[in-house]
Structure 1
Amino acid sequence: MLVLQKKLLLCLGCLLMTLSIFAAPASAIEARNKEEILRKMDDYVIKNMKNNHISGISLAITHNEDVFYTRGYGEFSDGPAITGSTPFPIASLSKSFTALAVLQLVEQGLIELDAPYASYFPDLLPEDERVRDITIRHLLNQTSGLTDKVEPDMTRFPQYQSLEEINRSLITVKLANDPGKTFSYHNPNYQYLALLVEKVSGQSFSVYLKENVFDPLGMSHTFNVSSTRQLIENPAIPRGHYLLFGYPVSKAEPSWFIDGPAGIVSTAEDMAKWMLAQYHSRLLAPELMEQFHTAGQSGPYGMGWLAEEDELGDRTISHSGIFWTYKAEETIDLDQQLGIAVMFDSGLNAFVNYSAFVDGIARIIKSEKAEASVFTSRTMEAVMVLLVIGTALWGGYAISRINRRKKSLTAGKLIISSVGRLLPVLILLSLPQLTASIGAGRVLPWIGLWTTMSSLIIWLAVLSLVNITYLVCRYRLYFQTR
Structure 2
Amino acid sequence: MRTVEKKMWLVLGCFLLLMGILARPASAVEVRSKVEVQQEIDQYVKKTMAANHIQGAALAIVHNGEVFYTQGYGATEGRDINDRTPFPIASLSKSFTALAVLQLVDKRLIELDVPYVSYFPDLAPKDERVRDITVRDLLNQTSGLNDKVNPDMTCSSPYQSLRQVNESLNAVQLANDPGSAYSYHNPNYQYLALLVETMSGQSFSDYLEDHILEPLGMRDTFNVSNTRQINENSAIPRGHYILLGHPVSQPEPSWFVDGPAGMISTAEDMAKWMLAQYNGRLLTPELMEQYHKAGQKGPYGMGWLAEEDEQGGRRISHSGILWTYKAEETIYLDQRLGIAMMFNSGLNAFVDYSAFADGIAKIMKGEKIESSIVSSKNMEAVMILLVLATIAWGIYRLYRIHRSNKAMTTGKWIVSLAGGLLPVLILLFLSPLATFIGAGRVLPWYGLWTAMSSLIIWLVVLSLVNITVIVCRLRLYYQAKKMKGITASP
Structure 2-normalised TM-score?
A: 0.91
Distance 1:250 1:192 in 2: 32
Partner amino acid, structure 2, of 1:60: A
Q: CA deviation at 1:333?
A: 0.2
Matched with 1:369 is 368
Q: CA deviation at 1:413?
A: 1.7
Distance 1:231 1:459 in 2: 31
Contact 2:390 2:462 in 1 (8 A): yes
Matched with 1:90 is 89
Distance 1:346 1:234 in 2: 17
Q: CA deviation at 1:158?
A: 3.1
Matched with 2:49 is 49
2:203 matched to 1:199?
A: no
Matched with 1:39 is 39
Matched with 1:7 is none
The CA deviation string for residues 172-228 of structure 1, in whole angstroms up to 9 with x for no partner, is: 111111111110000000000000000110100000000000001010110000000
Alignment of 1:336-415 (within 5 A): 336-415=335-414
Distance 1:432 1:419 in 2: 21
Matched with 1:304 is 303
Q: CA deviation at 1:311?
A: 5.2
Alignment of 1:201-280 (within 5 A): 201-280=200-279
The CA deviation string for residues 143-164 of structure 1, in whole angstroms up to 9 with x for no partner, is: 1010101111111133100000
Distance 1:66 1:222 in 2: 20
Contact 1:406 1:478 in 2 (8 A): no
Distance 1:31 1:132 in 2: 56
Distance 2:31 2:370 in 1: 24
Distance 2:353 2:372 in 1: 12
Partner amino acid, structure 1, of 2:480: T
Q: CA deviation at 1:408?
A: 4.8
Contact 2:312 2:332 in 1 (8 A): no
Distance 2:348 2:467 in 1: 28
Matched with 2:151 is 152
Distance 2:395 2:195 in 1: 60
Matched with 1:99 is 98
Contact 2:407 2:480 in 1 (8 A): no
Matched with 1:326 is 325
Partner amino acid, structure 2, of 1:345: N
Secondary structure, aligned partner of 1:90: strand
Partner amino acid, structure 2, of 1:168: E
Distance 1:415 1:152 in 2: 39
Distance 1:37 1:113 in 2: 43
The CA deviation string for residues 79-134 of structure 1, in whole angstroms up to 9 with x for no partner, is: 11100001000000000000000000001101010110110000000001111111
Which runs of 5 or more residues in structure 2 are unaligned?
1-28, 482-490
Matched with 1:6 is none
Contact 1:145 1:181 in 2 (8 A): yes
Q: CA deviation at 1:400?
A: 1.3
Contact 1:37 1:364 in 2 (8 A): yes
Contact 2:193 2:259 in 1 (8 A): yes
Secondary structure, aligned partner of 1:473: helix
Matched with 1:295 is 294
Q: CA deviation at 1:373?
A: 1.9
Q: CA deviation at 1:313?
A: 4.7
Structure 1-normalised TM-score?
A: 0.92
Equivalent pairs, count: 453
* Percent of aligned pairs sharing the same letter: 70
Distance 2:157 2:235 in 1: 27
Distance 1:156 1:413 in 2: 44
Matched with 1:19 is none
Distance 1:310 1:422 in 2: 47
Contact 2:221 2:264 in 1 (8 A): yes
Contact 1:275 1:332 in 2 (8 A): yes
Partner amino acid, structure 2, of 1:318: S
Distance 1:381 1:277 in 2: 40
Q: Which runs of 4+ in 1 moved over 4 A?
A: 29-32
Secondary structure, aligned partner of 2:69: strand
The CA deviation string for residues 336-378 of structure 1, in whole angstroms up to 9 with x for no partner, is: 0000000000000000010000011011111112244210101
Distance 1:380 1:209 in 2: 41
Q: CA deviation at 1:405?
A: 4.8
Distance 2:223 2:89 in 1: 10
Contact 2:163 2:194 in 1 (8 A): yes
2:448 matched to 1:449?
A: yes
Distance 2:384 2:214 in 1: 49
Secondary structure, aligned partner of 1:362: helix
CA RMSD of aligned residues (A): 1.2
Secondary structure, aligned partner of 2:76: coil
The CA deviation string for residues 398-438 of structure 1, in whole angstroms up to 9 with x for no partner, is: 11111455535122221121111101000011110000001
Distance 1:331 1:276 in 2: 12
The change in CA–CA distance for 1:128 and 1:30 in structure 2 (over 3 A counts) is closer
Contact 2:407 2:477 in 1 (8 A): no
The CA deviation string for residues 269-309 of structure 1, in whole angstroms up to 9 with x for no partner, is: 00000000001211011100000000000000000000001
Distance 2:429 2:310 in 1: 38
Partner amino acid, structure 1, of 2:73: Y
Distance 1:281 1:33 in 2: 30
Distance 1:30 1:421 in 2: 60
Matched with 1:130 is 129
The range that moved more, 289-298 or 153-162, is 153-162
Distance 2:179 2:428 in 1: 34
2:75 matched to 1:75?
A: yes
The CA deviation string for residues 440-460 of structure 1, in whole angstroms up to 9 with x for no partner, is: 100110110000000000000
Contact 1:48 1:372 in 2 (8 A): no
Secondary structure, aligned partner of 2:196: helix
Contact 2:73 2:80 in 1 (8 A): yes
Matched with 2:5 is none
Partner amino acid, structure 1, of 2:410: A
Distance 2:479 2:454 in 1: 37
The change in CA–CA distance for 1:165 and 1:54 in structure 2 (over 3 A counts) is same
Contact 2:58 2:83 in 1 (8 A): yes
